[in-house]
Structure 1
Amino acid sequence: MEHTLTDRMKIGISACMYGAKVRYNAKGWDMLGYLKRERANFLWTPVCPEVMSGMGVPRPPIKLVGGNGIDFWDGGAQIKNRHGRNVSSMMRAGAKACMETLERADVDAYIFMEGSPSCGVYRTTLKNQRLGKPPGVFGALLLKKEIFLIPAADLQSPVKWWDWRRRLTAFTWLKRRDIDTVSDLFEIWHTLKFLCQEIDEKSSRELGHRIASFSKVTSLQEINRIRIEILELLRRPSDAKRVKQWLWKNYTHLKKIHGVEVEKVCPPETLRNMTHIAEEMLAVELEARREEKLFGSSPIDYRPSR
């Protein structure tokens, strides 16, 4: 089975994180600068629900009142600005316009501004790191559409970005593949199972047992249900501890079975900074690609054509 993704991935992004000065205070940040040359490997679609609502720049800041973004779409919450004006109808139109744009662009993922009452997913305020009332109005739509979501702040960390990028690559590769038979599913699970186990070992092992019990007469509906579960697993965030542990586990497997060896890789108990960990991961990834061996921590090779 081909383990390479060559079509450029399409990523939506909160426009203020793309560098556009569209925040309520007319500011923005170029978070893609942290990716350096790698930013050219993706097609970007910046959107801003608040600008598309017609509220303009600069504008009074807004907040959710009476519930969260999910409640907003059910009619149980409102968006008001600092002066108490109800701008819910404007916000609703802006969020819908942005989602329609992302759907036309057929994005594979979205990089969101956490802490925003519009784009926030797990936090809707920046004050003292409080949660606010998550998700935000647009964040609720993103969750409903089951888009692969990446917090913009994680682009600043080489380890966190590597973690999101390898899982987004696997997610997109799986999303674009045709799975017509149980044999197709077996091959896909063989490719992705170690990455899934790293993210959630218990759920992945249960999923593996279910797949192993399938027969040739298993329905296409059940096969597609498994695909959806794998995609959901790949969207979940990991953490640095698990990344280090499974890097070592998958690296020792490569070394033992295929003779792939990289000097700079350290065992998980070795103390080192995040930059060094990122360098280790990239080194193993590149060496496995060069030797054409499957690396469980990053099983899909992303080689976009420009």
Structure 2
Amino acid sequence: MTGVSSTGKFRIGISACLIGENVRYNAGHKSSSLCHELFDEDFEWVSVCPEVAIGLGIPREPIRLVGDPNHPQVVGTRDAAKDFSAPLREYGSYMAEHLDDICGYVFMQKSPSCGLERVKVYQSAGRPALKEGRGAFAEAFTAKRPDLPVEEEGRLHDPVLRENFISRVYAYIDWQQLLGQGLSRGALIAFHARYKYLLMANNPQAYREIGKMLGTLKRDDDANEVGPRYFSQLMQALRRCASRGTHCNVLQHLSGYLRDALDVDDRQELQQIIEQYHSGSVPLVVPLTLFKHHLRNHPDPYLMQQAYLHPHPSKLGLRNAL
């Protein structure tokens, strides 16, 4: 269950080198100014270096992936007889179970222990395989925690991927808080109602499929059986990033709720701004700001609760670059 730390902040896991700890093979770090900027104010770091945790020293011989890209070994670069595959995978499974109060995880990219994707897998001749692999620790960790939002630090420099990851982190927090209050049929339906348009923007097909799943709910006991499946499908669906087209589709749906409340000029202006966003002339924050202005003047309880309109703190400015 995701909890609040003694500092009043939610906790997020991270590769220790990314927050400036000197744990790399060369006794250095890869401190990420972006991670500090994004998370320091609202989250508490839970730093992990699996290589140090399994007993490798600082400094140490570098390691790399070798063999089958689908299930590579992790060995020393100078002494391939040193096989760290099992310890790293066991530690990944262990930490996945014990870090039960985090709401996300940022991994170090291209690492043979922590990389989520695109990690080189070397063959006997010393050349990388055509297919790339995943770090042993990260692979084991994510297999145990498939619903947890995870991302690589390098990918967070892409504004679309960055906004998507933070949105998933706050959706995860929201769900854990719901579980803490108790899951019921009404609570599950209300949760889905809040995430309806965020889901529509990210994954229209999953939006339709997940809605059908909730149609099977008849009583509160059903929520305990359907709830975990619902949330797993929701988190997988939200991994897909919204496009300008799907954002515009959602904006048009939301605007429809205010059609009768707005005069002709206001409706035309809103449509023009949405079209400007669709063409790439303005960022997403522009039509959203205008829509929220109209929503404040014409409050609608259903719209005001939508996670799509506030998936993360506005102070982060994540939609300014979309």
TM over 0.5: yes
Deviations 1:135-158 (CA, angstroms, capped at 9, x unpaired): 211111222122321121133233
Q: Aligned-pair distance for 1:184?
A: 1.8
RCO comparison, higher one (Cα < 8 Å, 6+): 1
Q: Does 1:171 align with 2:181?
A: no
Are the counterparts in 1 of residues 92 and 138 from structure 2 also a CA contact under 8 Å? no
Distance 1:27 1:282 in 2: 43
Find the counterpart in structure 2 of residue 136 from structure 1: 135
Are the counterparts in 2 of residues 194 and 297 from structure 1 also a CA contact under 8 Å? yes
Q: Aligned-pair distance for 1:228?
A: 2.9
Sequence identity, in percent? 21
Q: How does 1:143-182 map to 2 (within 5 A)?
A: 143-146=142-145, 147-178=148-179, 180-182=183-185
Counterpart code for 1:245: G
TM-score, L = length of structure 2 = 0.71
Q: 1:132 to 1:289 in 2, by over 3 A?
A: farther
Q: How does 1:240-259 map to 2 (within 5 A)?
A: 242-258=242-258
Deviations 1:244-292 (CA, angstroms, capped at 9, x unpaired): 23333333444442479898955343235xxx63654885798699777
Q: 1:136 to 1:151 in 2, by over 3 A?
A: same
- Paired residues in the alignment total 285
RMSD: 3.9
Counterpart code for 1:138: F
Q: 1:129 to 1:14 in 2, by over 3 A?
A: farther
Q: Does 1:227 align with 2:231?
A: yes
Q: Aligned-pair distance for 1:177?
A: 1.0
Q: How does 1:60-209 map to 2 (within 5 A)?
A: 60-68=61-69, 71=71, 77-89=72-84, 92=87, 96=91, 99-100=94-95, 103-104=98-99, 106-125=101-120, 133-146=132-145, 147-178=148-179, 180-209=183-212
Q: 1:159 to 1:140 in 2, by over 3 A?
A: closer
Which deviates the most, 9-18 or 86-95?
86-95
Q: Does 1:271 align with 2:287?
A: no
Distance 1:233 1:222 in 2: 16
Distance 1:158 1:229 in 2: 24
Distance 1:211 1:9 in 2: 29
Counterpart code for 2:154: A
Are the counterparts in 1 of residues 288 and 309 from structure 2 also a CA contact under 8 Å? no
SS of the residue 2:102 aligns to: coil
Are the counterparts in 1 of residues 113 and 135 from structure 2 also a CA contact under 8 Å? yes
Q: How does 1:285-304 map to 2 (within 5 A)?
A: 293-295=304-306, 297-300=308-311, 302=313
SS of the residue 1:88 aligns to: coil
Q: Aligned-pair distance for 1:171?
A: 2.1
Distance 2:10 2:201 in 1: 23
Q: Aligned-pair distance for 1:226?
A: 2.2
Distance 1:47 1:140 in 2: 15
Counterpart code for 1:49: P
SS of the residue 2:45 aligns to: strand
Which deviates the most, 109-118 or 285-294?
285-294
Q: 1:111 to 1:301 in 2, by over 3 A?
A: closer
Q: Aligned-pair distance for 1:43?
A: 1.1
Q: Aligned-pair distance for 1:297?
A: 2.7
Find the counterpart in structure 1 of residue 20 from structure 2: 19
Find the counterpart in structure 2 of residue 3 from structure 1: none
Q: Which runs of 5+ in 2 are unaligned?
A: 1-7, 316-322
Are the counterparts in 1 of residues 116 and 134 from structure 2 also a CA contact under 8 Å? yes
Distance 2:153 2:54 in 1: 22
Q: Which runs of 5+ in 1 are unaligned?
A: 1-6, 72-76
Distance 1:209 1:97 in 2: 35
